[in-house]
Amino acid sequence: MVSVATRAAIDAEIAKMPEKRGALLAALRLVQAEYGYLPPEVMEEVAQIFGLHPTEVFEVVSFYNHFHVQPRGRHEVNVCTSLTCSLRGGRGLLRQLQAYLGVRAGQTTEDGRISLGHEECLGACGNAPMLRIDDTYHLDLDWVRTQQLLDGLE
Amino acid sequence: MGHRVPHVTHYLTEHFADPGYTTLSGYRAQGGYETARRVLAEQSPEEVIGTLKNAGLKGRGGAGFDAGLKWSFMPRDQAGPSYLVCNADESEPGSFKDRVLMERGPHQLLEGILIPAFATGAATTFLYIRGEYAEPARILQRAIDEATAGGVLGSNVLGTGFAHQVVLVRGAGAYICGEETGLLESLEGKKGQPRRKPPYPAECGAFGRPTTVNNVETFCHVPHVFARGVDWFRSIGTEESPGTTLFGVSGHVERPGLYELPLGTRLDEIIFEHAGGVPGGRKLKAAIPGGVSMPLLPAGHLDVPMANEFLREHGSSLGTGGVIVMDETTCMVRVGCVISEFFRDESCGQCTQCREGTGWLHKLMLRIERGGGTEADLDVLEDVAGKMEGQTICAFADAAAWPVQALLRHFRSEFLEHVRAEKCPFPESFEL
Ligand SMILES: Cc1cc2nc3c(=O)[nH]c(=O)nc-3n(C[C@H](O)[C@H](O)[C@H](O)COP(=O)(O)O)c2cc1C
Ligand code: SF4
Ligand code: FES
């Protein structure tokens, strides 16, 4: 069951929209923040809140990159591999990260600390190469700085 | 931020160095919201739209459609609500202007929203922002809350009796939600798959209601048009494309960043004078004028003024003004691999030509890059790209085909070199 606080936050999002379903993405974001991912029974509960069939919720979840149906690491580390970052070494950075963490992009470290991934342009091309750790952008990176950032993660 | 030529008019970013400008009081200290108050109190919606049409402001989201004309499509006589949507999905590789406009000038954006909201009679603006933009979303929500508490938004906007609210909606990671009807689907809590048109959003948009979608930057120009007048606005830029725009320059340049310059500024001036040229004494090989969807231009074609009417003659387009520069070490087949990977990953999958075509383009590019390609593969690339163009529900498939066609048009010999050498002849190029 989603917590009382999350449920209240979902209701507040619903109140902002002309139709209930307009708050579905916001609700999924809130629920995922509580559980770290979207377990099936939680998606069913969301479906119930919105008066939708569970498959309608699954479909939406699978369309968007930010929703996860498997448990994730404590931190999301996503390297930008679009054109400008690639031109300035972004893919090299990703290769080094994979070697350093011992996982491929798309995987989570064994200690559950980091889920490594790559993303398309994050709108910070003027500071390439860059990556995103959870909600924070880190800009103008080289390998030394990237390593420091990783080592600083709990 | 680079504003290196002092005489250049830069009105959008004029106060961006001032952190106080992001607060309501700081914005008001610069005369903020005075223009909206005056326009809402003194003009009729028809007058507002008339002024905007005369100004000739073109949309800055990629397609360059006339903003005033778009607003005039909104029905004025229907019962029930109509909506405005601010497209803050900015995901075109090479673009980063909207993020800075939201982070440094959130109230400028809100003031830019209020004027067309009044002119189109919209009750609500949905500000749809890509999910990755957590920091801009936080800054915007704070600005919306402050504006609501300060009587700038709400039931009596700036004391004029007009009612308007702005609702911030966050995306969840899907490039296609930047396409305006994909955005509308996402706003309604669905998969962001573009709709067939017609009906157009002005007829049936968000939640089945008349809706206008504009880009963040488009809105930001609006208060300045009304503050200083149509003649002033048209004195900047070109005849067909008035005003400034934020050119985002990235890639192999000395000073990457945003440069607010008049539309029609020459591409080589932007790259060499403003962004400092290519580092390390290397030569420039090619540049993309407006985000990866726009066909690239080889070094010999860079004296083009950056406005659609001129770029069109070179087979390209302004797009989002995101200039990506590539130096002489760059392998153009690798560029093709990176761009086509993006389109393969981001196709929404509704149209067969797009879903299958983007996969093929990427597969062929990789094969050629790795030395396994044949001359016939080049024809297949052209054939696949040609079949994707103009055949699909949205313009994404065109955007995927154009860069490939431009690469083959200008750098066919490089593709052939890969085929003949059976490997990449550019060992110095960026890592793939
Ligand atoms: C595939 C695709 C992606 C798009 N992405 C964006 C985007 O991220 N931001 C944006 O403002 N417009 C984007 N557009 C353009 C919008 O569909 C729409 O034309 C624009 O938001 C209208 O605003 P404007 O008239 O102010 O430019 C995209 C279009 C396509 C076909
Ligand atoms: S062209 Fe591509 S992105 Fe656009 S609707 Fe068709 S499949 Fe989706
Ligand atoms: S290409 Fe990496 S932020 Fe744009």
One-letter amino acid of B186: S
* Least CB–CB distance from A120: residue in B186, B189, B345: B345
Asked whether residue B132 falls in the same domain as residue B104, the answer is: yes
Using 50 as the pLDDT threshold, list the residues of chain B that sit under it: 1-8
Residues of chain A found within 8 Å of residue B358, distances taken between Cβ atoms: none
B186 inside domain:
yes
Q: Count structural domains, chain B.
A: 3
Residues of chain A found within 8 Å of residue B252, distances taken between Cβ atoms: 87-88
Asked whether residue B82 falls in the same domain as residue B225, the answer is: yes
pTM over 0.90: yes
One-letter amino acid of B41: A
Size of interface A-B (CB pairs under 8 A): 151
Asked whether residue B139 falls in the same domain as residue B277, the answer is: no
Instruction: Inspect the interface and report whether the beta carbons of B191 and A59 lie closer than 8 Å.
Output: yes
pLDDT in tens, chain A (154 residues): 899 999 999 999 999 999 999 999 999 999 999 999 999 999 999 999 999 999 999 999 999 999 999 999 999 999 999 999 999 999 999 999 999 999 999 999 999 999 999 999 999 999 999 999 999 999 999 999 999 999 999 9
Which residue does chain A place closest to B192, by CA atoms? A63
Asked whether residue B318 falls in the same domain as residue B187, the answer is: no
Residues of chain B found within 8 Å of residue A47, distances taken between Cβ atoms: none
Give me the torsion for CA of A112, A118, B61, B212, rounded to 10°: -40
- For residue B431, give the DSSP letter: P
pLDDT of residue B391: 87
B427 inside domain:
no
B4 inside domain:
no
Asked whether residue B164 falls in the same domain as residue B128, the answer is: yes
Residue nearest to atom 4 of ligand 2 (CA): B394
* Least CB–CB distance from B93: residue in A17, A84, A132: A84
**Which one of B301, B327, B353 terminates a domain?**
B327
The CATH number linked to B342 is: 1.20.1440.230
Asked whether residue B84 falls in the same domain as residue B71, the answer is: yes
ipTM confidence: 0.98
B432 inside domain:
no
Name the helix (H) or strand (E) containing B86. strand B83-88
Three-state DSSP string of B308-347? HHHHHHHCCCCCCCEEEEEECCCCHHHHHHHHHHHHHHHC
Helix (H, G, I), strand (E, B) or coil at B270: helix
pLDDT of residue B235: 95
Instruction: Inspect the interface and report whether the beta carbons of B430 and A89 lie closer than 8 Å.
Output: yes
Terminal CA-to-CA distance of chain B, rounded, Å? Answer: 29
Residue B153 to residue B30: CA distance in whole angstroms:
19
**Which one of B206, B234, B262 terminates a domain?**
B234
Residue numbers of the domain that contains B122: 19-234
Asked whether residue B42 falls in the same domain as residue B114, the answer is: yes
The structural domains of chain A, ordered by start, are 4-63 (1.10.10.1590), 75-151 (3.40.30.10)
Identify whether the C-beta of residue B200 lies closer than 8 Å to the C-beta of residue B105. Answer: no
Asked whether residue B256 falls in the same domain as residue B206, the answer is: no
Asked whether residue B248 falls in the same domain as residue B227, the answer is: no
pLDDT tens digit sequence for B276-297: 999 999 999 999 999 999 999 9
Q: Which A residues, 104 through 123, put their C-beta within 8 Å of a C-beta on chain B?
A: 119-123
pLDDT of residue B2: 40
B6 inside domain:
no
pLDDT of residue B78: 84
pLDDT of residue B77: 81
Asked whether residue B150 falls in the same domain as residue B165, the answer is: yes
Short-list B172, B195, B174, B175, CA closest to B185: B195
Instruction: Inspect the interface and report whether the beta carbons of B250 and A84 lie closer than 8 Å.
Output: yes
Asked whether residue B345 falls in the same domain as residue B228, the answer is: no
B429 inside domain:
no
Evaluate the omega torsion of the peptide bond into residue A129 and state whether it is cis, within 30 degrees of 0. yes
